Amino acid sequence: MDQLLKIALQAVQEAGDLMASNFQNLKNSDIQTKGKNDFVTRVDQEAEAIISRIILNEFPRHQILGEESGYTSRKSKFLWVIDPLDGTTNFIQGIPHFAISMALLANSKVVFGLIYNPLSEDRFHAIKGQGAFLNNQPIAVSRKKMLRSAFGSTGFPFKAPQFLEAYTNTFRSLLSRSQDLRRCGSAALDLAYTACGRYDFFWESHLLPWDFMAGKLIVEEAGGITSDFQGRELPLQTSSVLAANPTLYPKIIKIINEYFI
């Protein structure tokens, strides 16, 4: 695991240096549209190539699932799930809030997660059974007990308009019952911030596995609970996501289930 962490940190550092040097320096030709409100940049693609190269050089028998490239051809019980730039729209707009997210699954179970902010250089990581860390210091989820004093985060279902009505109703309910909600545009950082107590909970109705796999483990190793909106284990596919400390989790999922069937 020490070698695994070393290689993962090398990968995110090199990819992060690329992002930092290109931040607020993009050209129009660097940006492509993947779908409605869904973008990719040259930097996303180059960062994923850097990360994949470093991982496969060290672990050639591992498989990779990257947001931009999909699965590598080799099948393995070890699968890396990578989002090379979570918060691409922020990156394009010049908003300094984005991250690299990478998780390692062994036999379909997450055993390692790393989320790296290349501008602040904050490194959140977790190893299964060994706790969660921010810049190598142990972290834990918040101890908030009352929803009215809880500070949460969310993300709009901009890729899935079919959830908009249920999402809007849930947002209204949670906003009226909690201290406040934020929508900052990077699910990976939202999960990392939940793990270290900056947020008390996070919920989003439509995410892809590279958005949440690393954050799932980091939250759980920090003492929190993660699931989809039905309380099920987060799958290696598109899913709703809820993460919270153990006291707030049942209160929030109850509210969500008033609107999401």
Which CATH number goes with the domain that contains 83? 3.30.540.10
- Shared domain for 21 and 100, answered yes or no, is yes
- Shared domain for 132 and 100, answered yes or no, is yes
Asked if pLDDT for residue 176 goes beyond 90, the answer is yes
* Cα–Cα separations (whole angstroms), residue 215 to 37, 119, 186, 201: 23, 19, 11, 12
Cα 83 to Cα 73: distance, rounded to the nearest angstrom: 18
Expressed as residue numbers, the domain containing 34 is 2-138
- Shared domain for 156 and 131, answered yes or no, is no
The torsion angles phi and psi of 125, rounded to 5 degrees, stand at -145, 160
In a domain, 94, yes or no: yes
Q: How many domains, in total, are found in the chain?
A: 2
- Shared domain for 167 and 81, answered yes or no, is no
Flag the least confident range among 50-59, 118-127, 157-166, 219-228: 157-166
Q: What is the pLDDT of residue 261?
A: 77
* Domain limit, last residue, from 138, 165, 181: 138
Structural contact between residues 76 and 55, judged by C-beta atoms closer than 8 angstroms: no
In a domain, 151, yes or no: yes
Residue 98 tokens read as: 């984005």
Q: How is 225-259 classified by DSSP, letter by letter?
A: EEE-TTSPPPPSSSEEEEEE-TTHHHHHHHHHTTT
Q: What is the pLDDT of residue 37?
A: 65
Asked if pLDDT for residue 168 goes beyond 80, the answer is yes
- Shared domain for 121 and 153, answered yes or no, is no
What CATH number does the domain containing 217 carry? 3.40.190.80
For 204, the 3-state DSSP assignment is: strand
In a domain, 85, yes or no: yes
The pTM for the full model equals 0.95
* Domain limit, last residue, from 97, 116, 138: 138
